[in-house]
């Protein structure tokens, strides 16, 4: 192969790589896919992706050992990988065992003999180092400057895929569950069927996002972030939240603060998913024409997540009985949503809502009429009509 052909060949592999890794959202699988692709592209024996864990200041990875994958963790300043993570520089080594920084523990664990190493930092789009990419034992000779360039390029593609996958992994299942429990606690004071309402919001929002043609990733973001939109209701006094009738203007002003409380609860979180949830919590009562609250922002200024959840929330709030109103039939609620297109709601979101309406109706029909009684909330409250 001529140099020219080899470059062309690598370029093709690169394009393929981008396509393959952007599809995988499960972090373990993703790391496997990345390693397999990189080994092929750079003709080397091993590829290890180290991820920087900022909470513990460790680099973690998975290595193949006795046909199994073992998780390894090492201090983030240790080894060649640690050196790259802390300096942000690429390191290209011809004989690992000659290097003082080299950490032979992984070799000991895997029974492997490392000779050549090329290690580059994994930088995200913001330029922050999120890990280290190492390729080990080039099939022939040493890693050269072409290899360095390619690995850096692969690293930037891999970094964005890894960050996306981390979005879901950064919250363990039990953490997510804790958050949803908190959301349910926050809301169940004013609705018997909070769990159902949250499920509806989640499914409707995801359906609408899909209808708008948003990428799968965004659809998932909104599916998981939307149930937290009203979490700020924890900060609202019972006397207002549970008032079986119309709120006075002063009470309504207080009620509106649930958006600000929600933002406070969620916005300091490090997880990207909770950052999205924060946008939804703070902006789900903004209106497309700028007459909503709390910031009176309009149009595209309102995060798209919030524009979507706003439609899902109002549709479902209308279809559910509230302490302050009886429930509406879904057709009436649908008409209301359509009427508000361009006023309260983004016309594009409403169009998508109409497009997926049969899907929404199916989800609605599963739980309609089923009532779970949560102690502490009386039937009378819910039957009050105004």
Residues that bind ligand C2E (CB under 6 A): 190, 243, 246-247, 255, 285, 313-314, 317-318, 322-325
Residue of minimal CB distance from ligand C2E? 324
200 binds, among ligand SIN, ligand C2E, Fe ion, none (CB under 5 to 8 A by kind): none
Q: What would the x/- binding string for ligand SIN be over residues 192 to 221, using CB under 6 A?
A: xx----------------------------
For residue 287, count other CB atoms closer than 10 A to its CB.
20
Contact yes or no for 103/80 (Cβ under 8 A): yes
79 binds, among Fe ion, ligand SIN, ligand C2E, none (CB under 5 to 8 A by kind): ligand SIN
In whole angstroms, what is the distance from residue 382 CA to residue 325 CA? Answer: 8
In the complex, minimum distance from the CB of residue 180 to Fe ion, in angstroms, rounded to a whole number: 16
For residue 339, count other CB atoms closer than 10 A to its CB.
12
In whole angstroms, what is the distance from residue 199 CA to residue 197 CA? Answer: 5
> For residues 84 and 317, which CB has a smaller minimum distance to ligand C2E in the complex?
317
Across the strands, what pairs with 132? 50, 121
Q: Is 62 a catalytic residue?
A: no
In whole angstroms, what is the distance from residue 135 CA to residue 63 CA? Answer: 13
Q: Which of 230, 316, 340, 346 binds Fe ion (CB under 5 A)?
A: 230
> Active-site residue among 62, 138, 233, 279?
233
Distances (CA, A) of 242 to 110, 324, 376: 61, 8, 11
Selected range binding Fe ion among 44-52, 205-213, 228-236, 272-280, rule: CB under 5 A: 228-236
Name, in order, each residue with C-beta under 8 angstroms of 301's C-beta and a sequence gap of 6 or more.
none
323 binds, among Fe ion, ligand C2E, ligand SIN, none (CB under 5 to 8 A by kind): ligand C2E
Long-range contacts of 8-12 (CB under 8 A, 24+ apart): 10/41, 10/146, 10/150
> For residues 6 and 53, which CB has a smaller minimum distance to ligand SIN in the complex?
53
Peptide bond into 294 cis (omega under 30): yes
In the complex, minimum distance from the CB of residue 233 to Fe ion, in angstroms, rounded to a whole number: 7
In whole angstroms, what is the distance from residue 45 CA to residue 118 CA? Answer: 12
If one asks whether residue 321 binds ligand SIN (CB under 6 A), the answer comes out as yes
Selected range binding Fe ion among 8-16, 88-96, 225-233, 300-308, rule: CB under 5 A: 225-233
Q: What would the x/- binding string for ligand SIN be over residues 73 to 92, using CB under 6 A?
A: ------xxx-----------
- β-strand 58-65 against 68-75: which pairing, if any? antiparallel
> For residues 113 and 383, which CB has a smaller minimum distance to ligand C2E in the complex?
383
In whole angstroms, what is the distance from residue 57 CA to residue 62 CA? Answer: 17
Name, in order, each residue with C-beta under 8 angstroms of 173's C-beta and a sequence gap of 6 or more.
none
Q: Which of 21, 49, 93, 106 binds ligand SIN (CB under 6 A)?
A: 106
> For residues 34 and 186, which CB has a smaller minimum distance to Fe ion in the complex?
186
For residue 91, give both structure tokens. 């390191």
In the complex, minimum distance from the CB of residue 203 to Fe ion, in angstroms, rounded to a whole number: 18
Positions marked catalytic: 233
Q: Which residues bind Fe ion (CB under 5 A)?
A: 230
């Amino acid at each position: 192969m001529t140099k020219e052909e080899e470059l062309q060949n690598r370029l093709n592999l690169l394009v393929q790589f981008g396509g393959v890794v952007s599809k995988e959202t499960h972090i373990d699988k993703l790391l496997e896919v990345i390693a397999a692709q990189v080994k092929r592209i750079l003709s080397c024996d091993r590829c290890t992706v180290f991820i920087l864990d900022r909470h513990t200041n460790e680099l973690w990875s998975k290595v193949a050992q006795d046909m199994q994958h073992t998780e390894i963790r090492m201090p983030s300043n240790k080894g060649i990988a640690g050196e790259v993570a802390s300096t942000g520089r690429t390191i290209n080594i011809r004989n690992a065992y000659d290097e003082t920084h080299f950490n032979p523990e992984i070799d000991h664990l895997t029974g492997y003999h490392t000779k050549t190493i090329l290690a580059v930092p994994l930088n995200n789009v913001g330029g922050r180092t999120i890990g280290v990419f190492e390729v080990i034992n080039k099939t022939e000779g040493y890693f050269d400057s072409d290899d360095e360039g390619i690995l850096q390029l692969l690293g930037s593609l891999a970094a964005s895929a890894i960050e996306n996958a981390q979005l879901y992994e950064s919250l363990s299942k039990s953490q997510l569950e804790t958050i949803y429990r908190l959301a349910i606690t926050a809301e169940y004071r004013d609705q018997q069927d909070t769990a159902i309402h949250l499920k509806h919001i989640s499914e409707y929002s995801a359906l609408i996002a899909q209808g708008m043609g948003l990428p799968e990733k965004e659809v998932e973001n909104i599916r998981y972030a939307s149930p937290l939109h009203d979490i700020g209701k924890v900060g609202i006094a019972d006397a207002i939240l549970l008032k079986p009738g119309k709120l006075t203007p002063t009470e309504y002003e207080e009620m509106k603060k649930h958006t600000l409380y929600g933002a406070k609860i969620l916005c300091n979180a490090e997880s990207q998913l909770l950052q999205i949830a924060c946008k939804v919590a703070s902006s789900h009562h903004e209106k497309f024409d700028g007459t909503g609250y709390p910031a009176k922002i309009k149009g595209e200024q309102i995060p798209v997540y919030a524009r979507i959840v706003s439609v899902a929330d109002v549709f479902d709030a209308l279809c559910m009985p509230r302490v302050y109103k009886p429930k509406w039939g879904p057709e009436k609620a649908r008409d209301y949503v359509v009427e508000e297109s361009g006023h309260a709601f983004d016309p594009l979101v409403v169009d998508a809502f109409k497009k997926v309406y049969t899907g929404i109706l199916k989800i609605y029909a599963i739980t309609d009429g089923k009532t779970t009684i949560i102690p502490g909330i009386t039937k009378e409250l819910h039957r009050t009509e105004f």
